[in-house]
Each structure stands twice: as C-alpha cells, then as structure tokens.
Amino acid sequence: MTLSLLLGLLVGVVLGLVGGGGAIIAVPALVYGVGMSPAQAIPTSLLVVGVSSLAALLPRIREGLNWPVIALVGAAGIPAAWGGAAVGRVLDPNVLMLAFSAIMVLAGIRMLAGTRETDGSCGTGPGRALRACAPKALAVGLLVGFLTGLLGVGGGFLIIPTLTIFLGLRMKQAVGTSLAVIVINSAAGFSAHAAGFSIDWPTTLAFAVPAVVGSVVAARLARRLKDKHVRISFAVLIFAVAGWVTAGTVTA
C-alpha cells in the first residue's frame, strides 16, 4: 500500500508538470510494482490518469486551451480507443509491454529533437488555419486514441510531442490541451475495457488520491519552469521508464 501511495504521487506530479506521461509510470508500476496483470493494470491506469488529468487541468483553464484541437483530437480518439482495446485483447501481454517501451523511446527522441517556438496552423497566433489544421489533428487523434486503448495510456507522452512538433502549438499551451485530450481518451479507453473488469478499489484509491493531489500541486509549480527544462526532464523520464519496462519484460 505504501508503494502504491508513492507511485501514485509520482504519477500525479508528472501529469501536473508536463501535461502527460503519467500512464507510462502507472502501467509499469501497477504491473511490476503492485503485481497486477496487464489486463488489470490497463483499465486501472486509465481511471487513475483520467481523474488526475482532470484535476491538473483545472488550474490551467485560465491560461487558455486550444479548444478546436481538443475537439478534433478528442473526437477522433474515442472510436480509435475502442479499436485499440479490441486489438490489445488478442496480443500477448509481453508484446504489449515491449511495444509500450519502443514507443516511449521514439517519443523521448522527438522531444529532445526540439519543438517549434512559433505557432503553426493549429496554434492560436496569426498563422492559425483550421482548414489546414483539421486533417493533422484528426490523424493525431486516431493514433493517440488507438494507443490509448491498446496500451492503457492516456496518450500524454505522445500528445505533447505531436502537439508541439506536428501541430505547432507552444509548449505551455500544449500541456493544458494535452490534459484535456487525456481526459477524453482515458474515459473512452476505460469504457472499452470496462466490460467484465472488476476494480481493485484499495489499490486504485491508493494510486488515485495522491495522484490527484500531486497533479494539482505540480500544475501550479509548473508555471515557474521553462519549456526547455520541462521537455528535457520529460524525455529523460521516458527513457528511464522504457529501460525499466524492457528489463522487467525480458527477465519475467
């Protein structure tokens, strides 16, 4: 129970600081730290990450969110999450965890490669063009939604790089927008896994309560951090967890 509380707090802090990435800790922690099977860990992670993301989102609403991008990415992600969940049911759990690790490494590399500092077609600046933005935002929603259902992640560790690099949002706006999309994707993914799933309430609450508290506190502290520092710290965390997941899967 103590380990669950500490890991839940870490999940919340990551969500609050970088607007995503909590699930890349939650799923491995539930599998290798608590002893859940991937089938149990995936919906539990989605529930915890969804609630924590909502809590972390509230302090950022006044800073401004990109609602058109949220609507487009979120709408595309809902059916894609159901499709990902269906595929995940027929795959070997070890294959899922190794795929999880590989995707994390790719996302970390993209984050270290840098982000655009000017608004693109999906931004809120003078270069905004929703007609050009919509196809890209829908493609991002389909990809992230599918991986949400498949791997049990809210998608934040992929949404942040795609929002900044592919859609041209500034980092601070991408964080709040990412949290809103994660809430939508997590709800869709959880509903896809809910049939026949029995929630382990003691473990779930042990994760969720400190995660919510950590996400709210970290979201307020994040305003003092520079985008570059957030991006680099996020990438380093991704690489560390990817190594942990790979080692745990190969030696299992």
Which residues touch 73 (CB under 8 Å, ≥6 apart)?
A: 137, 138, 140, 141, 144, 159, 181
Higher pLDDT, 197 or 47: 47
Q: What per-residue confidence (pLDDT) applies to 76?
A: 93
Q: Count other Cβ atoms within 10 Å, centred on residue 202.
A: 10
- Residue 71 — very low, low, confident or very high, per pLDDT cuts 50/70/90? very high
Q: Are 122 and 137 in contact (CB under 8 A)?
A: yes
- pLDDT at 63 exceeding the cut of 80: no
Please provide the average confidence, as pLDDT, over all residues in the chain: 79
Give dist(CA 52, CA 185) in Å, integer. Answer: 13
Q: What per-residue confidence (pLDDT) applies to 138?
A: 92
Q: pLDDT digits over 3-62, tens only?
A: 778 878 887 887 777 666 666 677 777 887 788 887 888 888 888 888 888 887 887 787
Q: pLDDT digits over 74-115, tens only?
A: 999 899 988 988 888 888 878 877 887 887 787 778 777 755
Highest mean pLDDT among 24-38, 50-64, 120-134, 135-149: 135-149
Q: What per-residue confidence (pLDDT) applies to 200?
A: 84
Burial class (CB in 10 A: 0-12, 13-18, 19+), 92: exposed
